[in-house]
A and B are shown apart, each in its own frame.
Chain A
Amino acid sequence: MLEHYRDVAPQGTVELLRQLGRRVEGKSMVHVNSTRYGGGVAEILHRLLPLFDELGVKTRWEVMTGSDLFYRTTKSFHNALQGTRQRITPEMYDAFIECDRDNAKRLNLDAEFAMIHDPQPVALIDARPHGATWIWRCHIDVSTPQHSVWQFLRPFVVRYDAAVFSLPKFSQRLPLPQFLVYPSIDPFSEKNRELEHDEIDRVLQRLGVPRDKPILLQVSRFDRFKDPVGVVAAYRLVKKSHDCRLVLAGGTATDDPEGSEVLAEVQGAVDRDPDVHILLLPPTANLEINALQRAATIIYQKSTREGFGLTVAEALWKGKPVIGGETGGITVQLIQGVTGFTVNSPEGAAFYTRRLLNDPDLMAVLGQQGKEYARHRFLITRHLQEYLGLLIFLQQRVRNG
Chain B
Amino acid sequence: MLNHIANTPFRFVSCMELREVLGKRAMDEHRLLELIEEVPADSIYYHTHSYFLRHAYTQQLYSNDFATWVVLYAQDRLLGERLGVLDPFDFSDIEHLRDEILRIVAEHLNHSTVPRCVVSEPFEFIRSHIIEIPLALEARTLSEFHDALADVEVGAVYNHVCEARMRKRPLSGDFARWLSSEDGLGLQELALNIERVGRLGLSLEGMRNKILYLCEQELAR
A residues bordering B, Cβ < 8 Å? Answer: 10-13, 15-16, 19-20, 165, 168-169, 171-174, 177-181, 335, 338-339, 369, 372-373, 376-377, 385-386, 389-390, 392-393
Contacts and interface: CB of A to CB of B under 8 A. Distances in A.
Interface residues of B, number: 25
Nearest to B55: A376
B36 to A, nearest CB: 16
Interface in B112-165: 121-122, 124, 126, 129, 131, 133-136, 152-155
A307 to B, nearest CB: 15
Given A12-B154, A16-B153, 10 more contacts: A10-B153, A168-B21, A169-B25, A169-B124, A179-B18, A335-B57, A373-B55, A389-B129, A389-B131, A393-B18
Contacts of B135: 15, 19
A365 B16 CA distance: 30
A126 B121 CA distance: 36
Contacts of A173: 23
Nearest to B152: A12
A7 to B, nearest CB: 16
Contact of B57 (A181, A338, A389): A338
A16 to B, nearest CB: 5
B153 to A, nearest CB: 3
B58 interface: yes
Contacts of A377: 55
A171 B23 CA distance: 6
Of the listed residues A168, A173, A177, A180, the one surrounded by the most CB atoms of chain B closer than 10 A to its CB is A168
B122 A335 contact: no
Given A178-B20, A180-B19, A180-B20, A16 B14 contact: yes
A392 B131 contact: yes
A19 B15 CA distance: 11
B122 A386 contact: no
Of the listed residues B19, B121, B154, the one surrounded by the most CB atoms of chain A closer than 10 A to its CB is B19
A19 B55 contact: no
Contact of B23 (A15, A172, A339, A393): A172
B21 A180 contact: yes
A377 B55 CA distance: 8
A395 B19 CA distance: 16
A23 to B, nearest CB: 8
A174 B23 contact: yes
Interface in B12-48: 14, 16, 18-21, 23, 25
Contacts of A16: 14, 16, 133, 153, 155
Interface of B: 14, 16, 18-21, 23, 25, 55, 57-58, 121-122, 124, 126, 129, 131, 133-136, 152-155
Contacts of B131: 20, 389, 392-393
A181 B19 CA distance: 8
Contact of A168 (B14, B124, B152, B155): B124
B148 to A, nearest CB: 12
A238 to B, nearest CB: 27
19 contacts: A11-B153, A12-B155, A15-B153, A19-B134, A20-B16, A165-B21, A168-B21, A169-B124, A178-B20, A178-B21, A179-B19, A179-B20, A180-B21, A373-B57, A376-B55, A377-B55, A386-B16, A389-B131, A392-B131
B18 A390 contact: yes
A171 B135 CA distance: 34
A179 B135 CA distance: 25
Given A16-B133, A19-B133, A19-B134, A177 B153 contact: no
Contacts of A386: 16, 18
A198 to B, nearest CB: 34
Contacts of A181: 19
B33 to A, nearest CB: 19
A270 B122 CA distance: 38
A20 B18 contact: no
Nearest to B137: A15
Contacts of B23: 171-174, 178
A314 to B, nearest CB: 18
Given A16-B153, A16-B155, A339 B19 contact: no
